[in-house]
Amino acid sequence: MTVSQQIVMIAVVVLGTMATRFLPFLIFPPGRPTPRYVKYLGRVLPAAAIGLLVIYSLKDINLLSSTHGLPELVSVAVVVWLHLWKKNMFLSIAAGTILYMILIRF
């Protein structure tokens, strides 16, 4: 890339980031009630995103391989258990990832 192309690319990224940050405040100004569909999306989208991530993470499990998907299932169980126990998403995901990385080495 030339210098001018790099500058244009950075400008486009900055404008895109600024638009996604400021546009909600322009569309939904303070003092006006939030539309019902936005509240609905705020309620259902986090669970839908987590569901998509779980499906994406588990889609390539081969039950006929030597481990039979055991590292993945144990890691998912640890993530669920830790999240229900500690209610800390970072801790749950980090522990599950570390456990999975340890289990696939054996």
98 falls in which pLDDT band (50, 70, 90)?
very high
Greatest CA separation for the chain: 59
**Which pLDDT score, from 0 to 100, does residue 48 have?**
94
Average pLDDT over residues 59-77: 89
The residue among 69, 79, 78, 77 whose CA lies nearest residue 104 is 69
21 falls in which pLDDT band (50, 70, 90)?
very high
The residue among 58, 29, 46 whose CA lies nearest residue 83 is 46
Give pTM, 2 decimals: 0.61
